[in-house]
Structure 1
């Protein structure tokens, strides 16, 4: 069985550039997974030009295809609402995929897509989606969303996908009943989080902020001593393959 993995690039990248940047990752999984790369729908304006129109025109006409910058949404500390997020979800209504891998902004999108496929009713775009929840996500330099409404998808409590019942003793009956009634928050699927200790774009502490939303299945965490990139050394390659292999 060959797995299909959806791959989501980082901010200012695109599917072509991300394919090249992840060549080693793709090679180490070649016998067990097919990687499908998709470009985000929003062109990221080049900040050196005067107007948005000039920036978009320059991006389309004067840059090599792999250099045209795209993003899954736009926001700012002053305006944390994710503009363009729904359009990106429409772009991602494909499949089927067994798992998802994302880098930076694409990692955050991968995590959000993972939770939305577990609870499609939370999104008008995905509420009628028949895609099964991902078996796993690989989140590289990911981060929590700044958009408060989107953040609620992690922090609001929902019933677990597959409930498990425990028989409590008479002594702990009351505590047991309370535990059964409590719902789980966060993501219920499996995950691997890749975090660079010297990442100055998405600091390690910010990436670690996502881990608290993955308590249903203990996440696999891969630290590396580099910065804002997907590591490709031997130890990292072995870790990727071992993680993905467990879902074949």
Structure 2
């Protein structure tokens, strides 16, 4: 029996593992028997003041996915992987997010990763540090092989710290043409930081497309990385009638892109102390609600 591919699933800011699983459940069902999606809660529990103004998450039909009130029900508690300022130029707690994921990846093996919004930015970091463990002290003793692929949905280019190099992991970038939270120009910056990006655009907003054509596309693209598969991911047909390549999107949004990707070869970050989640950005520590 062929081994199932295992995919680490990283939810967005203000979501949690349960909400993200609910959001992409149609994709999980389409991949059943061939792909296993593994969901984890982010370590930071959010409180309404941590939510950027005007920030909401909706499903494909426009219904809210998160109640913006502090709740104790684990399945409804909004979480994040770190917090950030309003223009997402300074991150608070990203090192703790790496430390949170390290023991998980030490004991488990994943073929790929799927991340939504902030989870996509975190996935980009993971790809970079697993490709070259010398670029971060937590990863310098290789505990997990490089990922075979990454699916980055409504993602943005992380800059604090910047990515240490151009990502070599094959990446699939899913953009919402009418995403008013993470615009296509922002997501395209992340694509330009990858050596082998594939960009697909749906006509909706800040969510992962899950209609039938997209479900089939996700299944075939992910399974193309499976053992013994003859097809290649780049040969999987687009889920949209007209393929809009990354170059076309860059040209369309050239005037909106006001910065270039900060891809630099940086010195390793200093070692971090034991994980504590006690900053002013966090209302409860993760342990208090788990």
TM-score (norm: length of structure 1): 0.77
Q: 1:146 deviation in Å?
A: 3.4
Residue 197 of structure 1 corresponds to 177
CA contact (8 A) 2:13 2:118 kept: yes
In 2, Cα distance between the equivalents of 1:223 and 1:78? 24
Give 1 or 2 for the bigger CA radius of gyration.
1
User: Is 1:135 equivalent to 2:148 in the alignment?
Assistant: yes
SS in 1 for 2:164: helix
Q: TM-score, normalised by structure 2?
A: 0.66
What is the CA-CA distance between 1:73 and the residue it aligns to? 1.1
Q: Tell me how far apart the structure 2 counterparts of residues 87 and 188 of structure 1 sit (CA, whole Å).
A: 25
2:159 to 143, 146, 149: 146
Structure 2: where are the runs of 5+ without partners?
Answer: 51-68, 227-290
Relative to its length, the structure with more helix (as a share) is 1
Count of matched residue pairs = 203
Structure 2 counterpart SS, 1:235: helix
Secondary structure at the counterpart of residue 108 of structure 1 = helix
Q: Which residue of 2 aligns with 1:33?
A: 35
Residues 79 and 111 of structure 1: is their aligned pair in 2 closer, same or farther, counting only changes over 3 Å? closer
* Aligned-pair Cα RMSD in Å: 1.9
List runs of 5+ in structure 1 lacking aligned partners: 49-57, 155-185
> What is aligned with 1:211?
191
Q: Deviations over 1:62-117 (max 9, x none)?
A: 44322211111112157833211111111212221000000000011111111111
Check conservation: 1:86, 1:125, Cα contact below 8 A. Answer: no
Measured against aligned partners, the alpha-carbon deviations of 1:156-186 in whole angstroms (never above 9, x if no partner) come to xxxxxxxxxxxxxxxxxxxxxxxxxxxxxx1
